[in-house]
Amino acid sequence: MSGKWRFGRFFLVLLMAIIITGCSTKKEVSTKENYGESASKDGGTLIIARLSDAENLDHQFMSTINAASVTHSKIYEGLVGRDKNAEINPLLAEEWKQLDDVTWEFKLRKDVKFHDGTPFNADAVKATFDRLLDPNVGSPRAVVFKMVQEVKVVDEYTVQFILSEPFSPLLSILSSHEGGIISPKAIEKFGEKIINEPNGTGPLVFESWTPGQEIVFTKNNEYWGNKAKVDKVLFKVVPEETTRISMLETGEAHIAEPLSVPMMSTVEASSAAEVYRSEGFGTEYIGFNVQKEPFNDARVRKAIAYAVEMDSIIKGVYNNVGKKANSLLGSKVFGFNADMKAYEYNLNEAKRLLAEAGYPDGFETTIKTMDSKERINMAEVLQSQLKGIGVKVNIQVLEYGTFIEQANKGDSEMFILSWRNATGDADYNQYNLFHTNSHGAAGNTFFYSNEEVDHLIEDARKEKDQNKRIELYAKSQELEMEDAVYIPVRVIENLAAVTKNVEGFSISPSGYLEINDVSIK
């Protein structure tokens, strides 16, 4: 593959030059500024070529890490954040304490302003969470903070979160993108509508968004903390992966993500770029819509699980990048159950269960996936494997945004998805993916409901004893596996291609791009 690519690279570059010359955007940015001359000194423009655009720029309406990765910790910041070791650290709150089971108090920084010049204070924190939790706004992320009964202003720089019930992982979700604090002026301007001009306190400032093409941020020279090392950041939408990699070779971009496993060898052979990889919190999985026939029968779901030979998928599709998963929790996530057992390959048992469910000759179904090489390859392997039990699988490949929209609506039977876990705590996985209250855009695209699982998840949220929380999550995961709601595939490895003159880039275990410390040499 890499040899063919190198042979055709000249023609790719030539084609890209024609395409780029012919493209128009809302805001003209000079070729010099974008693609080269400033890269040899401090500052410059960091160009990130991405598979797909953000579905929106409002943290309270984002349903994917792909979108949140653009703005989280860059435009918006939370009261707390995570350091490079994924430990909770002060951010917009200097300190905090839990006053009782349901009251958390935060002391805020006094030297912070929003990008529009509005002072950051307790009123701004309250305004942010009042909007998030307002049923008239209808934020799909409100469910994450459902336990917050009131955000109370104590004084200008002290705020309390009054909960309706104990919630042990509060800090973990405050550190995720849903906890980003929004300028009160932006809230006043957009109200119940999606914010399309994000305004926060972070080291980068929103400049423009041309949907489907690019998002542009500039350096916040008034930032309260360590200022960004580049002057400008461009997130360019480049759906074709070979084009993204070609842009690194020609100096038209510095980072290309995501990087597929098949393209790793091409990047490794490059003189201009190298592979970035790190283990994530999340996992990749095959999901079932359990409300759609025939997948409303657990025997059918189990039969499919028994018919999948996962080792060959991990090796053949992913070239052993990302270890085999046993649940939807990555091994670094709090609450991971190392003793969980996924279904092992057993064709006879698969056929027996199908016959018992009334499908002795199999059936026809459709699996949906986004337009990425690995996902399409995996769908093709599944299509081949499931022929062994008489199941005919049609593959439907969709543009990422369309795919997510259809999965959220329940317009699916089988699908290939991932959950990156923004917080590193099992609650974010379990509540969003499996609780009855989370059907649809909140994360439960299985449309799964199990009263016992709901109670276990709720009990784990309230439990202060961390060992007891682990036990509760172990039970909930075992019940989900017994119900065969999904088939775990692998623990995600974050992959990107990065030019060799870029320093300081990383991807957090949650999947957020970390670019605040990036410099271009």
For residue 323, the domain's CATH number is: 3.10.105.10
- Helices and strands of the chain, counted as H and E runs: 17, 20
Residue 50 and residue 182 share a domain:
no
Residue 365 and residue 341 share a domain:
yes
Is residue 67 domain-resident?
no
Measure the CA–CA gap between 448 and 114, rounded to whole angstroms.
40
Residue 185 and residue 123 share a domain:
yes
Is residue 73 domain-resident?
no
* Half-sphere exposure of residue 480: CA atoms within 13 angstroms, side-chain side: 35
Q: Burial letters for 133-167: b for 16+ Cβ neighbours within 10 Å, e otherwise?
A: beeebebbbbbbbbbbeebebeeebbbbbbbeeeb
Residue 462 and residue 363 share a domain:
yes
Is residue 63 domain-resident?
no
- CB 346 within 8 Å of CB 304: no
Residue 287 and residue 249 share a domain:
no
Residue 345 and residue 438 share a domain:
yes
Is residue 140 domain-resident?
yes
Tell me which residue range forms the domain holding 267. 2-56+204-272+500-520
Residue 233: strand pairing partners: 46, 217
Is residue 386 domain-resident?
yes
Instruction: Name the domain boundary from 138, 159, 190.
Output: 190
CATH number of residue 515's parent domain: 3.40.190.10
Residue 373 and residue 249 share a domain:
no
Q: Scanning the structure block, which residue is given the tokens 């692998």?
A: 490
Residue 476 and residue 369 share a domain:
yes
Q: Which residues 6+ apart lie within 8 Å of 147 measured at CB?
A: 163, 164, 165, 167, 170, 461
Residue 455 and residue 362 share a domain:
yes
Is residue 245 domain-resident?
yes
CATH number of residue 115's parent domain: 3.90.76.10
Q: Which helix (H) or strand (E) holds 454?
A: helix 451-462
- pLDDT (tens digit, 9 = 90+) per residue, 372-396? 888 999 999 999 999 999 999 999 9
Residue 387 and residue 340 share a domain:
yes
Q: What is the pLDDT of residue 42?
A: 65
Nearest to 294 by CA among 172, 413, 388: 413
Query: What is the tally of structural domains in the chain?
Result: 3
Residue 226 and residue 180 share a domain:
no
Is residue 13 domain-resident?
yes
Residues lower than pLDDT 70 in the chain: 1-42
Radius of gyration (C-alpha) of the chain in whole angstroms: 23
Q: What is the pLDDT of residue 163?
A: 97
Q: What is the pLDDT of residue 188?
A: 96
Q: What is the pLDDT of residue 11?
A: 36
Measure the CA–CA gap between 402 and 400, rounded to whole angstroms.
6
Residue 370 and residue 387 share a domain:
yes
Q: What is the pLDDT of residue 41?
A: 56
Is residue 61 domain-resident?
no
Q: What are phi and psi of 467, to 5 degrees?
A: -65, -40
- CB 129 within 8 Å of CB 145: yes
Q: What is the pLDDT of residue 64?
A: 84
Instruction: Name the domain boundary from 140, 161, 190.
Output: 190
Q: What is the pLDDT of residue 131?
A: 97
Instruction: Name the domain boundary from 135, 157, 190.
Output: 190
- pLDDT (tens digit, 9 = 90+) per residue, 325-383? 999 999 889 999 999 999 999 999 999 999 999 999 999 999 999 988 889 999 999 99
Backbone region of residue 322 per phi and psi (left: phi > 0; alpha: psi in -120 to 50; beta: other values): left
